[in-house]
Structure 1
């Protein structure tokens, strides 16, 4: 009896460092996300004919690019300690503004893009200012701005979008698009460049440092001379501008304006952030969201290939999010005990 108790007591400390090591690795590197991505892709290769073709690969990367760009702004906002439920409205606004100004009013693409981005800057500024200045929950503020923006867009187009996007814009998201003569869809390269810039800003600049400090503890950030209000507001501006940019790309992808085209990205952009492993308040980075977007794009294609309904796809994605949140929640509790 004594020997058994002694053995169990001695085994426990040896197990804890092992779990602690695994936990530390996952905090530093998105090991589970990489394993999941490789496993899912391998499953597709082994079960679906043609899954490894260039056409399918480009479909995955194009969808992941649009989702990853939508998730870029959500990542920034989550890291600063907020949440943005107006992303879908800004995506739809960017889409409709480009199609209407270029197709109906015959504006140049450059001028229409500037107007769309200006709407993003103004809306993002309101999101950040109201939520910070008046201490209102970001979820409520962003939902309010979303409803306001959607209403203004519907009023402007009299309830129906009739514009057509410029054909040149469609080349950015076309599967047969090229970059300097190389057969790579331009949107994939755009996403790669955005990911590189955001990754460097978050990890190598004072702006990134201020963002993380604000997300972890606003009071401590102020003691560190961080201009918390400006950091918070700029995070929401960045989120709105990136969402509008996705809407512009989607205008080329769909060829016309659509007031509901951004709706799927409200849930999916947040899912990409969470599945990637970035948590609220200064933990994670955009590289994790990139992996999250890739995982969700592969999952979506696998579910579609198996002819599952959109409702089933939403259920499985929701279960995946719960599993990731549960994993990271357990990891924090384990770390607290250690």
Structure 2
């Protein structure tokens, strides 16, 4: 009798909220801003928060594709996103070369090439049965070589003024345009995952590939599309970074590969696939950016920042794991 009553007793809303990875990540971001304001006055000012969100958006765009890949399951992960973002940024900046007339051409060329890279990743994984970790790690090396061939070891080119204005220009209430774009993409990706056949297929494939296949889901196509999406969103993130820096260099987005994975995990997406949302990944990107800015403002060495970021990630994973165990 007591067992049945425990099962039938609804869990209070507040308990569900404190066990929700998205709520935990959002609360952590707020706490970090408060701590930053205490130790560095101005850290939590409106202007500084807008600048932080603008920086977080670049990681957030790359995390879109990483979220889709991880949701696809099968130990899915994309280690090539940083290099793909850098390559796309170099192609876009060289094509634009500071000219608005080449703005669309530069973006289109970068996205098409990135989609081709993602397609090769997907075909290698489903066709040649190469593990995602190995395939995308190998592609990282291939793209690095392509960058050296394309640039001759020297990255040049400039962002078109339109791109610079989109990223750095202040629109309504002093909010940079790239943040509005990020919000729009977040809404569209959420609708894609929750309201379209591709999204439903993605969750099904990530949960159980055999069951998905028996249900009529085209598993291989879904996986390939996931890796194409990852490369395209990585390219978009790299292009927007050029708008921020206005110039490009050979390792522009290389350091965003592991943070893109961490952002997805912090946001509550299961690394095994099938469970998660992009909203969580977006908040995870904000958490990582705020944490990095806080540690930088405290003048911590890079090694110390890396250690603390790792500890935060481990603690969050422990909390998420405990919450899932209690719910099960």
Given the two structures, how large is their TM-score scaled by the length of structure 1? 0.87
Write the distance in 1 (CA, Å) between the matches of 2:313 and 2:198. Answer: 29
Equivalent of residue 29 in structure 2, options 31, 37, 54: 37
Write the distance in 1 (CA, Å) between the matches of 2:200 and 2:320. Answer: 23
Distance 1:201 1:28, change over 3 A: farther
Write the distance in 2 (CA, Å) between the matches of 1:109 and 1:263. Answer: 24
Equivalence for 2:300? 308
Equivalent of residue 83 in structure 2, options 89, 96, 118: 89
Equivalence for 1:321? 313
Equivalent of residue 146 in structure 1, options 140, 145, 154: 140
Equivalent of residue 161 in structure 2, options 157, 167, 173: 167
Equivalence for 2:237? 246
Distance 1:28 1:222, change over 3 A: farther
Equivalence for 1:128? 122
Structure 1 counterpart SS, 2:249: coil
Distance 1:107 1:158, change over 3 A: farther
Write the distance in 2 (CA, Å) between the matches of 1:26 and 1:238. Answer: 32
Equivalence for 1:99? 93
Distance 1:202 1:186, change over 3 A: same
Write the distance in 2 (CA, Å) between the matches of 1:132 and 1:307. Answer: 46
- Runs of 5+ unmatched residues, structure 2: none
**Distance apart, 1:105 and its partner CA:** 10
Question: Is residue 199 from structure 1 mapped to residue 190 from structure 2 by the alignment?
Answer: yes
Question: Is residue 230 from structure 1 mapped to residue 221 from structure 2 by the alignment?
Answer: yes
Structure 1 counterpart SS, 2:167: coil
Deviates more, 1:46-55 or 1:20-29: 20-29
User: For the Cα contact (< 8 Å) 2:98–2:159, is it kept in 1?
Assistant: no
Q: Would you say how many aligned residue pairs link Structure 1 and Structure 2?
A: 320
Structure 2 counterpart SS, 1:171: helix
Write the distance in 1 (CA, Å) between the matches of 2:11 and 2:257. Answer: 35
Write the distance in 2 (CA, Å) between the matches of 1:213 and 1:23. Answer: 28
User: For the Cα contact (< 8 Å) 2:98–2:160, is it kept in 1?
Assistant: no
**Distance apart, 1:332 and its partner CA:** 4.3
Equivalence for 1:290? 282
Structure 1 counterpart SS, 2:226: helix
RMSD between aligned residues: 2.5
* 1:90-110 deviations in Å (ceiling 9; x for gaps): 110111101222229997121
Distance 1:173 1:104, change over 3 A: closer
Structure 1 counterpart SS, 2:44: coil
Distance 1:297 1:324, change over 3 A: same
Equivalence for 1:3? none
User: For the Cα contact (< 8 Å) 2:63–2:263, is it kept in 1?
Assistant: yes
After TM superposition, the runs of 4+ consecutive aligned structure 1 residues lying more than 6 A away are: 17-23, 104-107
- Which structure has the greater CA radius of gyration? 1
Write the distance in 1 (CA, Å) between the matches of 2:30 and 2:173. Answer: 26
Structure 2 counterpart SS, 1:61: helix
User: For the Cα contact (< 8 Å) 1:210–1:226, is it kept in 2?
Assistant: yes
Write the distance in 2 (CA, Å) between the matches of 1:275 and 1:215. Answer: 18
Equivalence for 2:210? 219
User: For the Cα contact (< 8 Å) 1:101–1:107, is it kept in 2?
Assistant: no
Write the distance in 2 (CA, Å) between the matches of 1:304 and 1:214. Answer: 40
Structure 1 counterpart SS, 2:78: coil
**Distance apart, 1:295 and its partner CA:** 1.2
Equivalence for 1:183? 174
* 1:112-153 deviations in Å (ceiling 9; x for gaps): 211101111100011111111122110110111111111012
Equivalent of residue 44 in structure 2, options 30, 45, 52: 52
Question: Is residue 61 from structure 1 mapped to residue 78 from structure 2 by the alignment?
Answer: no
Distance 1:223 1:302, change over 3 A: same
